[in-house]
Structure 1
Amino acid sequence: MRDDHMGDAGQGTGAGQARGKGYQIWVTALLSLNFGILFFDRNAVNFLMPFVQPDLKLTNTQVGMFSSALSLTWALSGLLVGRISDKLGSKKPVVVIATIAFCLCSFISGAASSFLMLLGARLLMGAAEGGVMPVSHAMIVSEVAPERRGLAMGVAQNLGSNLLGSGLAPILLVPVAAAVGWRTGFYLAALPGLVTAALIWFTLREPPAEVHDEATPKVTLREAFAHRNVILCALIAILLVSYLVVCWAFMPLYLTKARGFAPETMGWLMATLGISAGIGSFVVPAISDAIGRRPVMIFFSFLGVILPLGALYYQGSTLVLAAIFFIGWGLNGLFPMFMATIPAESVDPRLTATLTGVVMGTGEVLGGVLSPFFAGALADSYGLSAPLWLMLVCTVLAGMLTLGLIESAPRVVARRLTPALAAGT
């Protein structure tokens, strides 16, 4: 997997070699843990919603608005905070301040006594959290050696967020809410971030200043969207981010209210998604390295249909339903591919940073913001099964778009070119 989209920023410093492997591992692990706690906070409202909704007397439309609001400020913050960090030439304080801010927002969520107060807390949380990952990536680029940078970035973004935010969160928060109330769940979610903020401040250095090539031309959006793969990846991002966010927002409610599962059972069913995502984040791209991006994108996009269909219609063993959830959520492993890898392999590497930002921003704003609100409105009109049908439509449409992708995996492209070159000689 290529990491050209972050390579240009760090090549001028040689910073990756300035610290030993131990420090590079610690930077990656700590930032991954911090992002995992961030996702723990972000997802807490979804797993606690079966307790929050009746207490605050929320409609399903209002439930969807929480995810929409956070996604909106998350996307805007991701663009603004990264630019502010570059202008200030400071990264570590930005991550620390943002971490403390989203912890405070989790406390405010626990104290919320109305829809508007909780909505305001989610808006502020998105603003605090959105810039953490871009700045964390910049820190990794500056500190980790180029030959390990791609793996480090994958671990920082995927491992902690999936294992903690999607895996541990429902297992831990649901029993707490059942025992002592949902507000305590929010307070509990806030505490670990204060610990990682302190660790980042006291154990990580401010990365060395990056050297930029002033001769590099400014990239326009027209240039960014000149390649078919980029357009398709942006559209796929809208659909699969919608699939992801709608599942987080409404699957816990569907399982408890429509299917009648106990909150504890819902919690560990949702936890299987985190385990699946943690494994898929590495396994799925690795398979695509060997057999190609296009077939893997096609297969896993269509595979995503089994999760909503299983939740809607499977009436057998809960363990089998957990296996359906685990397998269907394997499409989560596609996210780094369509958000970064395929665009990076399809165009001039100098355009990669812009393309990655465009694809991620498009998916988060159009998918993450609009889809939960739409799903909530559908749920109010047609019942809690409607959001699951929306998930089904999204993954089928995404699968259809993947059929138009041009293969970009270097190893596969090289294999295809070899016979042609041999014939030419």
Structure 2
Amino acid sequence: MDSNRSFFRYENAIVLMMFFTFGFVFMERLSIVFLFPFISQDLHLNNAQIGMITSVLAVTWAISGWVFGSLSDLSGSRKKILLPITLAFSVLSFLSGVAKSFGSMLVVRGLMGLSEGPVLPIAQASVIADSSEKRRGFNIGFVQSSLGLLGATITPIIVTAVAVKYSWHSAFYMVGIPGIVMFFVLWKYMREPKLTPEQDAVHGKVNRKDFAVVYRNRNVWLSSIISALFMTWLFVFTTFAPVYLMTVDKFKAEEMGLIMAAIGFGSFVWGFVGPAISDKVGRKPTLIGFCLIAALSPIALAVVHASVPVMMLLGFLTAVGQGCFPLFMAVIPGESLPFRFVATAVAMTQFIGEIVGGTITPTLAGFAADAWGLQAPMWIAAGGAVLSAVVATGLKETAPARVKTANLGGNVPA
């Protein structure tokens, strides 16, 4: 059987390994969001402190991702960096369950950000290097859709059930286990990307002087701005939606878990459907359209106060944001540069997004919630998505099918 056509080829293996690795990262990162209603009562946290706990992980995540993502490009090794950090973020999940004060939780979540930050740049660089051209968008989107399935669908159901029956401490202990399992899977089966001689001439190893090309690229900078705006949508929405549902709409913890799970399942589905659509119609129009639809998700939560099934349906239909993330964080920067710079480019978009959207705006949204009510973060999140669509109009199209068509239309060889 042709190994390039077989399902059991390495392209599919690396996609699945990175799917679960990144998914378990966000299972551990988002678990605290769904546990905040329990933690805030136990540790006596206000909305500003909730925002700060979210923010400290984001800023350490951003710094670590840029440093170690660039290091993996410079060294040419992905596996040697990914293995130890996978083990580290799993151990830190256990330590989150041990925290007994705002200060100790702040320290542990900051350390977790240091260990988790490089995962996405390294994972997507590994996937891009072993992806066929026609499946590149789908593969990258599928990896990041794990955030929706594992992080945002399964996690709220499991951790809220465990927190209700046992404690929020036990929930943190439980979500640390899958990452340890993944460490051994990567140790046995992951291999470093192997480029053909032709690819190596263009995409091979780099030295420090070569990195300037990343910071001169228009698409990389626009993608970074979009990242800052769209991560505002993600982290403000996910941080305050569970508290909003239980405080304003008076849903029980289990009902909140079901609504957030529906939003998470929508994120999973749209997370790979969106990039797959972009393989056909182009990255730019897909990104613009999906950003505008994503803005409806927090608006629906702020405006509609309905039954659990209705809220679940609205959450699923509007949770298209995860279809945007693979495009501006990995696909567009990755197609705008040689493969050897992909981890650095992804790390840059992640860094700027985490600093602004993951660090600054959740804290500001927390203060806004204390001042004007929990509806304020929902409108801040929606604004981030709308502005992302506006900035996306300045991107240059990178989808291979669309670029080749444009070149042929202009009588230029593809």
**TM-score, structure 1 normalization:** 0.84
SS where residue 218 of structure 1 aligns? helix
| Partner Cα distance (1:125, 1:308) in 2 | 27
Q: 1:204 to 1:380 in 2, by over 3 A?
A: same
1:1-400 residue pairs with structure 2 within 5 A?
21-85=8-72, 91-140=78-127, 144=130, 146=132, 150=136, 153-154=139-140, 157-201=143-187, 203-204=188-189, 206-207=191-192, 212-213=204-205, 218-220=210-212, 224-225=215-216, 227=218, 229-345=219-335, 354-400=344-390
Q: 1:205 to 1:270 in 2, by over 3 A?
A: closer
- Output the amino acid matched with 2:274: V
Deviation at 1:415, TM superposition (A): 4.2
**TM-score, structure 2 normalization:** 0.86
1:352-376 Cα deviation digits (max 9, x unpaired): 5544332222112222111111111
Q: CA RMSD in A?
A: 3.1
SS where residue 261 of structure 1 aligns? coil
Deviation at 1:132, TM superposition (A): 2.4
Deviation at 1:175, TM superposition (A): 1.1
> Percent of aligned positions with the same letter in both sequences?
34
Q: Which residue number corresponds to residue 11 of structure 1? A: none
- Output the amino acid matched with 1:256: M
Do 1:273 and 1:329's aligned partners in 2 also have CA atoms closer than 8 Å? Answer: yes
Q: 1:20 to 1:319 in 2, by over 3 A?
A: closer
Q: 1:395 to 1:342 in 2, by over 3 A?
A: same
Do 1:140 and 1:152's aligned partners in 2 also have CA atoms closer than 8 Å? Answer: no
| Partner Cα distance (1:314, 1:37) in 2 | 32
Do 1:105 and 1:121's aligned partners in 2 also have CA atoms closer than 8 Å? Answer: yes
Deviation at 1:408, TM superposition (A): 4.1
For structure 2, the residue ranges without an aligned partner over 5 or more in a row are none
Do 2:141 and 2:274's aligned partners in 1 also have CA atoms closer than 8 Å? Answer: no
Deviation at 1:78, TM superposition (A): 1.2
- Output the amino acid matched with 2:234: L
SS where residue 62 of structure 2 aligns? helix
Do 1:298 and 1:399's aligned partners in 2 also have CA atoms closer than 8 Å? Answer: yes
Comparing 38-47 with 410-419, greater Cα deviation is found at 410-419
Deviation at 1:380, TM superposition (A): 1.4
Q: Which residue number corresponds to residue 10 of structure 1? A: none
- Output the amino acid matched with 1:207: E
1:64-122 Cα deviation digits (max 9, x unpaired): 11111111111111122335556776543533321221122111111111000111110
Q: 1:51 to 1:215 in 2, by over 3 A?
A: closer
Deviation at 1:52, TM superposition (A): 0.5
- Output the amino acid matched with 1:188: M
| Partner Cα distance (1:87, 1:216) in 2 | 7
| Partner Cα distance (1:87, 1:235) in 2 | 25
Comparing 402-411 with 99-108, greater Cα deviation is found at 402-411
